[in-house]
Each structure stands twice: as C-alpha cells, then as structure tokens.
Structure 1
Amino acid sequence: MASNNDRESDVDADTGQHGGVQSVDRALAVLEILARDGHAGVSDIAEEMGIHKSTVSRLLGSLVSREMVHQNSERGKYQLGFGILRLASSIPGRLSLVREARPVLESLAEEFKETVNLAVLRSNYAVNVDQAMGPSTLATYDWVGSLTPLHATSSGKVLLAALPADERDRVLKETGLPARTPRTITNRNKLETQLLDVARDGYGVVREEFEIGLNSMSVPVYNHMGAVIGAVSISGPAFRFDPEKAPGLLEALKQAGLQISAKMGYSRR
C-alpha cells in the first residue's frame, strides 16, 4: 500500500503533464478489478491500487458518467455498466472466425502431419469453413464447404453436445441418424450418452463412423460469451491415426481450440 506522501503526490499526478495517461491506465485497472470481483467499493479499490480514495472516486465518477460503471444504490458498491456491453458487442461482428483461426490450424497440421478442419453449425449440419493440410498427409480431399452429418463426425458431436436439449432434439428429429458406415451410431440413446461424455471431456472422437478408413478428433471453439461457435478437428487414415493414442495430440488440440477462442474474445474463468 502507498504511504501518505505517495498518496499526496498521487493526487497531484492526475493534474500533471503525464496525468492524462496515468488516469487512463488507472481507469482501466479499476475496470479490471470490477470485472474480476463483480463489484467493489472505493476503499477496496484504493487499497488494492495503492492510491488515494479521492482519486478512485474521481475515476469512478468519470466511468459512471460514461456508463462504463454503475453504482449499486443498496450497497454503494460499483460494478461494470451497460456501456461496457455496447463496446463489447461491436467486437464479434468485426472478428472473422476463419481469419483468426487460420494460423492455429496451420500450426496444428504442421505439427501432427494430418488434416485439420474448422467447422460451424449451419442448417442442421457441420459445415467445414477452413482446412489446413499436413505436409506429408495422404489426404487430398478439400472439405471446405462440405456439409457433414452432426451425429457421424467429431466436429458434429462437439456442436451437438453444446446445444440445449430441446434444440438438439429438434435437429436430430429433422435429420435422423442415417448410417454412413457400419460403425455409425444410429441409436439415439447411445448417441446421447456419448454426447454427455463429449461435454464432460471437452472433445469428441469418431472412428470410421463417417467414412471407412477415416478417424478424427474435435474440440470446441467458444466466443466472448462462452458459447460454442465452432469446432476444430484433426483427422487421418485409420491405419495410422488413432487420435486418443497419438502422443500429445489431445492436449495440443484443446490448446488450439482455446487459442482460437481467446482470439474470439473468450476468457476462461
């Protein structure tokens, strides 16, 4: 905590040559404290930042006037205001999932020498919107733009597992569970059990369920609200690629999903 002398100089600093920059930095620090704790009082903030309570009050006053911060009338505590939401809501529209994900997909494909895809949910299907090829992969098929069944692909299972139960029920009733191969899960109860595992474990796997000779593993991508907006998968020939046995693959894939999610504004609490 700052001494009294430090605090007195602190009061003067806001009006000095560098006061503007310092005030901006401190205002951002206040917002970070409120984002972390949910709410805080003037004394709490002053003590953590090591500055005078009068400085904190001035900062909060400016933030309140801009609706960045709101004061709870009952307890006198401060919390983030709706102005923050206005600013945040302008970000997602400017973020391109494909653009932000591209370097992560390429890095993953380079490391594991297999095909990496990015898929999103569209019209009851998993739609592949980007693809990166490993340097020595045998696969040459371009999956970009392809509509793939949710129940028979690893990306699809990740996307299904993230849906509310009623929405998932609607989708599966409309699409059914057609067999793509003898290994495709066509029993609804068995699929639901597997989707519970996907939600719990944070990844989905298929072994020759979509195409004989093809295995894949997928993890979710989240947006700034924590909602699943896509899935990153890695796939390869079944004769050489068992995703759950590949050293380091699951952790690398999960990290890739979190990297892309962070670029889309996701913050894991």
Structure 2
Amino acid sequence: MTTVQSVDRAALILEIIARDGEAGVGRIAKELGVHQSTASRLVAALEGHDLVERRAEGAPVQLGVGILRLAAATRPRLELTAQAGPVCEALAEELGETVNLAVYRSGAAVNLYQAQGARTVALHNWVGDATVLHATSSGKMLLAHLPEPQREAVLDGALERFTEHTVVDPRALRSQLVEVARDGWAVAEEEFEEGLNAVAAAIHGPEGDVLAALSAAGPTYRLGHDRLPEVASRVREAAQEISHRLGHREEPGSALAAE
C-alpha cells in the first residue's frame, strides 16, 4: 500500500464516520474494499492523532477531538468569508464590477471569495487562486502591511513582469507601498493583465491587524484611470464595514477612521 493510497483511505474513513456518526472496523473495511487488518491499522493511525476514537475496545469508531482542533484552525477564514460575503455581493452589484476577497498566504495573495454584479461582464473565477503580490491591487495592500522582513524578502526576490505596465523596480514598489499605507488604497492599472484595472483596501481584525484585502476589478474601458478614486472610496467603505463586522473598532482620530 503506497503512502498516497494510505492517505486517501484514511480520508475516506473520516468521511464514512462523518456520514454515519460511527462505524465498525468491519464495515469500514468493506466500504474501502480492503482486508479488516488493513482497516484496523488505518484506524489505529488516526487514533494516534486523536482524529478518531472508541468508547471501549472493539466499539464502533467515532470522530475524535483532533477533528475539533483542525476545525478551529479554519474558523477565522470561515468567519471572514461569512462576514464579508454579503458586503462583497452588495458592492459588486453597486459598482457593476468584480469584487474579490484575498488573504496573504506563503508569499502570495490567495482569493477566498468572489462576487459579480448582475451586469458584470464575466471575468476569470479567482477563488482559490494564488496571485502575485507586486502586480495586483490586493497583493500590494497585503504587501504594504507585512512585517518588514517579509516585505523586503518579496521586494528583493524575482519580480516577474506580466505586462509593460508591471512595476518590477523594488525602489518604485517601495514608494508605492508607502503611499498605499498612507492613503488606505492600492491600485493596479494593467499590471497583471492587459486591459484590467483594480483597486483594493484593507480589512482589519479586532486588534487592528490587516486580515485581508478587498478589491474591485474591471476592464479599463469601464474602470478607467479617472474612475479609480471614486471606486476606491467605495471599496474602502466596504472594507471598513467588513472590519466592523469582524469586531474592529476605529479609534477617533486614527488613520483608519480618517480614511
């Protein structure tokens, strides 16, 4: 039995138990189409990580407390999309553009949610995609709020050019990021794709840290340079609403409150 096959079967065991509430090793073996000794070894491995448990020796297998530990790790992301979803949908309908929610993960901006208004010309579905930081509005917003060592690691690395408008000079990017942090919004004009413009604002958590970036993107013939400040203002307002839903409270006179 290969490692991949073992992982696949272990995942199926968890799905069987989740479906039925509990299952005996014999029934698990039958559903997997394996010998009972093989199913028993897999169950024992899952027990070792508290992912399954039994009330007594020989009793049916149930999901274990380790599942709760894993579920807890996903809760912030689930809460973020749950709170942001309605705001994204409303903003997309209002602007007539595509709205995305992105978070920083391992040197990239990963899109968690996408909304499109009824009149929006369909764009690529970015949900689940990891995009670069230096050439997208969401990426720039997230990059501007990274700890300096992480930010500098990105700027000192290879900055890929996607179009003739992509900024690949680290000094120019540093200057842009200062403006992003100061002004509260980031822009990418045909930097990742020809004919596509976007603006983004930051979503803050209860302690004021930046959890995600909210962006609106559209074709240049509709979301042109002159319209970007107006759209940026609405994106910032929507990002503040999401931040408020997540428990963030702006201090009077703070930079965020002044946005």
- TM-score over 0.5 for the pair: yes
- Which amino acid is 1:125 matched to? A
Alignment of 1:139 onto 2:118:
no
RMSD: 1.7
Residue of structure 1 aligned with 2:227, choices 245, 259, 263 = 245
Residue of structure 1 aligned with 2:179, choices 182, 197, 207 = 197
Name the CA distance, whole Å, in 2 between partners of 1:149 and 1:94: 20
Residue in 2 aligned with 1:187?
169
Residue of structure 2 aligned with 1:255, choices 221, 224, 237 = 237
Name the CA distance, whole Å, in 2 between partners of 1:202 and 1:182: 26
- SS of the residue aligned with 2:247? coil
Q: Give unmatched runs, 5+ long, in structure 1.
A: 1-91
Q: How does 1:59-208 map to 2 (within 5 A)?
A: 93=76, 96-174=79-157, 176-208=158-190
Bigger Rg, structure 1 or 2: 1
Q: How does 1:45-64 map to 2 (within 5 A)?
A: none
- TM-score when scaled to structure 2? 0.65
Name the CA distance, whole Å, in 2 between partners of 1:95 and 1:264: 12
What is the count of residue pairs matched by the alignment?
A: 177
% identical aligned pairs: 45
**Offset, 1:264:** 1.2
- Range 165-174 or range 251-260, more displaced: 165-174
Q: In 2 relative to 1, CA 102–219 (structure 1 residues): closer, same or farther, beyond 3 Å? A: same
Contact 1:244 1:250 in 2 (8 A): no
- Which amino acid is 2:117 matched to? G
Name the CA distance, whole Å, in 1 between partners of 2:136 and 2:106: 16
Alignment of 1:211 onto 2:193:
yes
Residue in 1 aligned with 2:203?
221
Name the CA distance, whole Å, in 2 between partners of 1:193 and 1:93: 32
Residue in 1 aligned with 2:216?
234
**Offset, 1:173:** 3.4
Name the CA distance, whole Å, in 1 between partners of 2:134 and 2:164: 14
**Offset, 1:242:** 2.0
Name the CA distance, whole Å, in 1 between partners of 2:142 and 2:123: 25
Contact 1:158 1:204 in 2 (8 A): yes
Contact 1:158 1:220 in 2 (8 A): yes
